[in-house]
Amino acid sequence: MSKIHKFPLSTFLLLTIVPAILVGAGLWYLSGLAPTCSTEIATRLTSPDGQFDLVTFSRSCGDGTGPNSQAALIPAGEDLPDDAASFASVAAETNLDPRWDGFGNIELTLPQGAEIYRQDETVAGIAVIYR
């Protein structure tokens, strides 16, 4: 008859908890190395139908971030998410002078001579007019 060898609880805990702590500590350390972004909202305008908010903002993600101005469309009343996708973005700190026109279109003023990163013609089925 063979003997049954029991695995000591202390060894089991050592082999499971210590690696979990090391992995957790490593992930915590690595997350501190990633740059955190900050967003500064310039304007927020609710659409004529009350469905969306047009938000202009700039985002900074550390020392390597240059000046920028962006515009995004989000559901009315919601906070601007950290990962909001902009439909217009330029390499300049400027007032995009956003507005909703009488037909429910979005109007933005892009600065002359600035590098344009993104310039969508529509967003959520709404036409965007650049001045």
Q: Does 35 have pLDDT greater than 90?
A: no
Write out pLDDT tens, residues 62-113. Answer: 778 899 999 999 999 999 998 889 999 999 999 999 999 999 999 999 999 9
Q: Does 2 have pLDDT greater than 80?
A: no
Residue 39: the pLDDT is 93
Write out pLDDT tens, residues 13-31. Answer: 888 898 899 898 888 888 7
Domain ranges of the chain: 7-35, 38-130
DSSP state of 36: P
Write out pLDDT tens, residues 110-123. Answer: 999 999 999 999 99
Q: Do the Cβ atoms of 82 and 51 come closer than 8 Å? A: no
Enter the pTM of the model.
Answer: 0.73
DSSP of 40-80: EEEEEEE-TTSSEEEEEEEEE-STT----EEEEEEETTPPP
